[in-house]
Amino acid sequence: PTGQSIDEARAEGERAFALDRAHVFHSWSAQEQITPMTILAAEGSYVWDGSGTRLLDFSSQLVNTNIGHQHPTVVAAVQAQAAKLCTIAPQYVNDARSEAARLIAERTPGDLNKVFFTNGGADAVEHAVRMARLHTGRYKVLSRYRSYHGGTDTAINLTGDPRRWPNDRGNSGIVHFNGPFLYRSQFHSADEAQETERALAHLDQLVAMEGPSTIAAIILESVPGTAGIMVPPPGYMAGVREICDRHGIVFIADEVMAGFGRTGKWFAIDHFDVVPDLITFAKGVNSGYVPLGGVAINAEIAATFANRAYPGGLTYSGHPLATAAAVATINAMEEEKIVENAARIGNEILGPGLRELAQRHPSIGDVRGLGVFWAIELVTDRQTREPLAPYGASSPAMNEVIAACKSAGLLPFANFNRIHAVPPCTVTDAEVREGLAILDTALSVADAHTAH
């Protein structure tokens, strides 16, 4: 798809690989233990690796290419904006930024009608927390274990994930709690209703013990993504909203991964009929074509900064190329009914297909998700639910399963003992069936590690 010959593309890829190994420092990696895949080109739901082999992108990269790779109108919009005006400081008005803010505000629930733009998700979380602290005059922030909120200082501390070094800075003012997760319930619940009730009682007690007047915000992914796509059971998000209301705590919904169509609605929080005070977003807002994130702010918090300066900002806040990509992305998603496609694919093909695989593969312990946002949890024993890799680490068995997917032409998003099926929202029925067929083959590798 790049217009190059395959030999030219391979040669370019080989040179890039050598330079990468010499000079690029990779995230979340032991630098000498990785062999990163080269991607020479991408189009729609597919990428081409360093040898020119086509793979179905069931990862949407880092779950961000909601509109698929190289969408022509988004590419054209970025090109047109680059020709017109590449950069402008945030204090000046720019048409792409204004229009992107309007399109986002029209889609966020309730009165979240102001948008602060950032460069990505982590800085959106940093700013949401800063706004909540300034608005409430309080400091503590509560977040759940099994969550991901970003790789910067506050965001990584909010992240409830055990991958830490002993000298990582600890939880200064950040308190973690257990959210609902029936498959590995911390509350020994028998069903979803009990899990909701017990998880809310746990949070309620934690708020009481920490002192409600010290808590600025509770931040929750509307559907936790990286940590395992655990769709909150009915009533949980409404219960958190009620706890926040009772104590004047700001409710931040982190929609960086779940937002912009991924779950089959514009925002995942819309599944629960709850209106948060702040929404953080990034990724799907423009499918990552140019880095962009932001915070959608409700009227009450915006009013705090009406006559008192918000003491924060970024040079590239609302960057013209990034916001032009957002305008084109949101318009294309609307015109091509891409959010509706994600909902239908989840209900009719991807969800049922994964559940059908679970009937035949003893290595699948749990299947969960919605829209084009699904996870299968791999276990060595369905009875004990022993994971195929421990939480927070990889394992040789998991690596074998991932390698089997790749060698059969599927690029999954894998994390610990889970494979996430998170294709672009534009994915077709045939592509999903192709991905399911490859998973079917690769899962026999996982089955070989099971007790039964």
* By the rule CB under 6 A, 150 interacts with ligand PMP: yes
Question: 278 and 250 in contact (C-beta within 8 Å)?
Answer: yes
Q: How far is the CB of 64 from ligand PMP (least distance, A)?
A: 8
Q: How many residues make contact with ligand PMP (CB under 6 A)? A: 16
Q: Which stretch binds ligand PMP (CB under 6 A): 3-11, 212-220, 250-258, 342-350?
A: 250-258
Q: Residues 293 to 322: which contact ligand PMP by CB under 6 A?
A: 293
Strand order in the sheet with 112-118: 112-118, 293-298, 278-281, 250-254, 215-221, 140-144, 174-177
Binder among 40, 96, 256, 401 for ligand PMP (CB under 6 A): 256
Binder among 174, 218, 223, 257 for ligand PMP (CB under 6 A): 257
Q: Diameter of the chain by CA atoms? A: 66
Question: 143 and 160 in contact (C-beta within 8 Å)?
Answer: yes
Q: Give the whole-angstrom CA distance, residue 199 versus residue 202.
A: 5
Q: How far is the CB of 250 from ligand PMP (least distance, A)?
A: 17
Binder among 149, 262, 319, 361 for ligand PMP (CB under 6 A): 149
Q: How far is the CB of 219 from ligand PMP (least distance, A)?
A: 9
Give the residue with the Cβ less far from ligand PMP, 358 or 421: 421
Give the residue with the Cβ less far from ligand PMP, 121 or 412: 121
Question: 144 and 176 in contact (C-beta within 8 Å)?
Answer: yes
- Is the four-CA dihedral 404, 410, 411, 413 of positive or negative sign? negative
* By the rule CB under 6 A, 13 interacts with ligand PMP: no
* By the rule CB under 6 A, 100 interacts with ligand PMP: no
Q: Which stretch binds ligand PMP (CB under 6 A): 103-111, 119-127, 200-208, 380-388?
A: 119-127
Give the residue with the Cβ less far from ligand PMP, 8 or 153: 153
Bridge-based pairing state of the strands 54-58 and 293-298:
unpaired
Q: How far is the CB of 257 from ligand PMP (least distance, A)?
A: 3
Q: Residues 219 to 238: which contact ligand PMP by CB under 6 A?
A: 221, 225-226
Question: 419 and 228 in contact (C-beta within 8 Å)?
Answer: no
- C-alpha closest to that of 415 among 371, 360, 378, 380: 378
Q: How far is the CB of 42 from ligand PMP (least distance, A)?
A: 19
- C-alpha closest to that of 253 among 423, 109, 424: 109
DSSP calls for 44-100: BTEEEETTS-EEEEETHHHHT-TT-BT-HHHHHHHHHHHHH-----TTS--HHHHHH
Task: Give the phi and the psi of residue 42 in degrees, each rounded to 5.
Answer: -155, 150
Q: How far is the CB of 28 from ligand PMP (least distance, A)?
A: 11
Q: Which stretch binds ligand PMP (CB under 6 A): 103-111, 117-125, 228-236, 351-359?
A: 117-125
Site string for ligand PMP, 38-77 (x = CB under 6 A): ------------------------x---------------
Q: Which stretch binds ligand PMP (CB under 6 A): 190-198, 251-259, 300-308, 421-429?
A: 251-259
Q: Give the whole-angstrom CA distance, residue 45 versus residue 1.
A: 13
Binder among 254, 277, 431, 434 for ligand PMP (CB under 6 A): 254
Binder among 101, 125, 326, 364 for ligand PMP (CB under 6 A): 125
Q: Which stretch binds ligand PMP (CB under 6 A): 67-75, 99-107, 143-151, 414-422?
A: 143-151
Per-residue exposure over 381-395, b if at least 16 CB sit within 10 Å of its own CB, e if not: bbeeeebbbebeeeb
Both tokens assigned to 141: 């922030």
Residues near ligand PMP (CB under 6 A) are 62, 120-122, 125, 148-150, 221, 225-226, 254, 256-257, 282, 293
